[in-house]
Amino acid sequence: MSNIDPFEVVESEAIPGAVLEVVQYKALKGSDDLDVAEKVFFANQAEIHLKMIRVKLDRSELLIEPGALYFMKGSLQLESTTQGGIAKGLMRKFMTGETLFQSRIKGTGEIYLEPSFGHYLLFNIDNDALVFDKGAFHCATATLEVSALMQKNVSSALFGGEGFFQTQVKGSGIVVLNSPVPVSELLMYELAAGEKLSVDGNFALVRTAGVSFQAEKSGKSLFQSVTSGEGLLQTFTGPGMVWIAPTQGVYNKMKMADSIANLSHPEGSMGTRT
C-alpha cells in the first residue's frame, strides 16, 4: 500500500495552532458497480472533484457541526458543547437553522470532515465579524464565536429573502463556509462608507458586520419598481466587504426542465424572493 498523499490542496489558511485546508482527490478511480463507475467517469470528465476539509491541530481546538467528522488521528478529544451556553445555543438553532450543540475537537492531530462534491470558502478574520446565510457554517477554530444575528430593519427581514435572522461569526480565527459555487466564480466588493451594492436575487453570500443590509425598491416609486421588472433589490451599504455568487442563480435554473432554452432567451425576473 502506497503512503503517497492522494489529495491536492486547493486552499489553505493557518493561525498559530491550526491549519485548515480544502483538499480534493486528484481523480476518482471508479467502482466495482458499473452504474457508479459511469457517474464517476462523467464527474472526472467534468472536473468535479471530491473534496474534504482537513484540519491540523497543534494543542488547539476546532468547532464543527455534529455529524461532520469523518475521521481523525492523533491525541484528540471529541466533545459536545452549546458554545456560550444553552440560551445562545437555542437562539442559534431556532433562529438560524444551525444545530443546538456543536462538536469541539481539541488536542494535537489531523482531522478530516465529511467528503462532498460541493465547494468551500475559507476566511481568516482578525478581530472582525462575518454575516452569512443560514446553514452555510461548516467549521471554525474555537477562537471564534458562532451566534444568531437579527436583521436590523423590517424590510430586510420581510422582503430580503434571508428571514429575520442570519448567522454571525466574530473574533479572530478561521471559519469554513459551504459555498454554492466555486471560489473562482465569486466576486468580492469592498464598499466605502455610504457606498451601495444592489443585487436582484439571493446570491449575496457573505458580508462583514459593518455592512448594513435592507430590501429597497428598484425605482424611486412603487410604480417605477413594478414597471422596471426588477421589484425589490437586496441593498448593501458600506463600509465593508460583500461576497456575491452571480452564477448561483444560473446553476439553479439549469436544474429545471427546459433550462437551457430559458437561459438562451431569458425573459428577465424579479430575483429577490418575497
> Is 211 domain-assigned?
yes
Query: Over pLDDT 90: what percentage of the chain?
Result: 57
Instruction: Fill in the amino acid letter for 227.
Output: T
Whole-structure pTM over 0.85, yes or no? no
> Is 229 domain-assigned?
yes
> Is 191 domain-assigned?
yes
Q: Any idea what DSSP says for residue 117?
A: S
Are the C-beta atoms of 165 and 95 separated by less than 8 Å?
Answer: yes
> Is 197 domain-assigned?
yes
Set of cell numbers at residue 158? 420581510
> Is 174 domain-assigned?
no
pLDDT at 212 over 60: yes
Dihedral pair phi/psi, residue 264, rounded to 5°:
-70, -30
Exposure b/e, 214-227, CB count within 10 A at least 16 = b: bbbbbeeeeeebee
Q: Which helix (H) or strand (E) holds 14?
A: strand 7-15
Higher confidence at residue 64 or residue 221?
64
Phi-psi region of 146 (alpha: psi -120 to 50; beta: other; left: phi over 0): beta
Count Cβ atoms below 10 Å from residue 125 Cβ, excluding itself.
19
> Is 269 domain-assigned?
yes
CA torsion sign, 216 to 236 to 11 to 128?
negative
Q: Domain range spanning residue 235?
A: 181-274
pLDDT per position as a tens digit, 62-119: 999 888 999 999 999 999 876 554 445 445 444 444 455 678 999 999 999 999 999 9
Closest CA to 189 of 239, 232, 230: 239
Instruction: Fill in the amino acid letter for 206.
Output: V
> Is 30 domain-assigned?
no
Q: How confident is the model at residue 150 (pLDDT cuts 50, 70, 90)?
A: confident
> Is 19 domain-assigned?
no
List, as one string, the DSSP characters of 178-226.
Answer: EESS-GGG-EEEEEPTT-EEEESSS-EEEEETTSEEEEEESSSSHHHHH
Are the C-beta atoms of 24 and 63 separated by less than 8 Å?
Answer: no
What total number of domains does the chain contain? 1
